[in-house]
Structure 1
Amino acid sequence: MGRMPSAEPFGPLDLQLVLLRRMADHNPDLVEDARRALGVPLARMREANKRWQAMVRSPRARSSAARYRQILGSPESTTPRRIGDLDCEARLWPLPLWPDLRLEVLLAPNGAVWNEWLVRAPGAQGPALHTLEDLTPWSCTVDEAARAFAPARPLEGTAPTRWGLAFTAPDASGVRHEVVAEFTWGLLQRTAVRRPERR
């Protein structure tokens, strides 16, 4: 009793729960607040994650691009993008839980998904990032942090859908520190300050 029927179509709400489930490793309190805002029980989040994993790992799985279209419908926008020498395509979908963000799926010329993460919505006001104190959980995306504290060095993530950045940033008193920022689905989860930057 109490199990969500898995025969229901996997929809946008379920995908948001999948993103939250991965973020819960770093920010369980924020995830709990978001889950309650969505009005779903913890069991629904666990079930959504279980179904997502089964879809991704199934030998009969749809391509990643087709999977997102099936779950979220037609993208809000489709934009050509050039990365190095390759032309690719960026597809954006809104997610109600993060109205100022979009899920961006980046497709290679052959249709394979290169990247999938949250980015700021076109026209939405991004955060003011100047000091360490501005880098709070869920405050910014990978590209926003990289621009604000350039040059930033990409770091290999500890798991799928995770990314890292290494950069230097001042604290409120102006002392610069070496920082490692961790992101899940492109959204900042936490920062670790290594030590003040050597003069």
Structure 2
Amino acid sequence: MGDMPSEKRPAGPFTPLHFQLVLLRRMADHNPDLVEDARRELGVTLLEMREANKRWQAMLRSPRPRPAASRYRSVLGTPESTRARRIGDLDCEAWQWPLPLWPDLRFEVLVGERGAVWTEWLVRAPGAPSPALRTLDDLTPWSCTIDEAARAFAPARPLQGTAPTRWGLAFTAPDGGGVPRAVTAEFTWGLLQRTATTGTPGQTPSV
């Protein structure tokens, strides 16, 4: 008789390292070089990054998926901080976790009534200095979060993203010569990925 086929070994636990690979996988669409450097810093292969993303998608699409808030606690552990927050007329909790790849940032989940997750993105860590955002030249990939860009170039108008983890902003910002430009900025998991200048200088571009 020939050798019996070996059973596939069960995958190990999904860890914060795997979750960082999930974040990177989506960012690779816009900044493959930055993602490649980050992947090497984490000491993982391209295949491992793809496998981590595949496992994450399987968790999301499971016939009986775990609630999002519970899933994040399972993967990332107990939040580093939990704070009550009020947005408009609604109350929620902000859960934050550190990620070694971005020591000055935190992964934040806003949890509403009955554990509903409202937002999941990267934000600046408490006490960490925010970047100086004055001109287009300061808006480099991964340089700022979506809330930092919105504050620096107010008023900014939110734009619909091309995927659940992507957001956009439209605003006016001066170029290096001080000339106002209409800008669209794209963010993945709350972190800036790229910008484009469109429309008439000094006017916020239309959707």
Q: TM-score range by the shorter chain?
A: over 0.9
**1:65 and 1:112 in contact (8 A); partners too:** yes
Mapped pair 1:81 → 2:102? no
Superposed displacement of residue 109, structure 1: 1.8
* Mapping 1:19-168, distance limit 5 Å: 19-168=23-172
Query: How many equivalent pairs are there?
Result: 195
Secondary structure, aligned partner of 2:133? coil
**Which amino acid in the other structure matches residue 148 of structure 1?**
A
Deviations along 1:14-44, one digit per CA (max 9) or x if unpaired, are 0000000000000000000000000000000
Question: What is the deviation of 1:59?
Answer: 1.6
Alignment of 1:175 onto 2:179: yes
Q: Could you list the structure 1 runs, at least 4 aligned residues long, displaced by more than 3 angstroms after superposition.
A: none
Tell me the residue number matched to 1:184. Answer: 188
CA distance, structure 1, for counterparts of residue 179 and residue 25 of structure 2: 35
Cα distance in 1 for partners of 2:23, 2:82 equals 22
Question: Is contact 1:86–1:109 with CA below 8 Å preserved after alignment?
Answer: no
- TM-score, scaled relative to structure 1: 0.96
Cα RMSD after superposing both structures? 1.2
Using the alignment, how far apart are the partners of 1:6 and 1:145 within structure 2? 43
> Where does structure 2 lack aligned partners over 5 or more consecutive residues?
1-8
- Please report the TM-score for the alignment, with normalisation by the length of structure 2: 0.92
Q: Is the 8 A contact 1:156 1:164 kept in 2?
A: yes
What is the distance in 1 between the residues matched to 2:11 and 2:111?
A: 29
Unmatched segments (≥5 aa) in structure 1? none
Q: Which has the larger radius of gyration?
A: 2
Deviations 1:124-154 (A, max 9, x none): 0110000000000000000000000000000
Q: Distance in 1 between matches of 2:202 and 2:70?
A: 46
Identity of aligned residues (%): 77
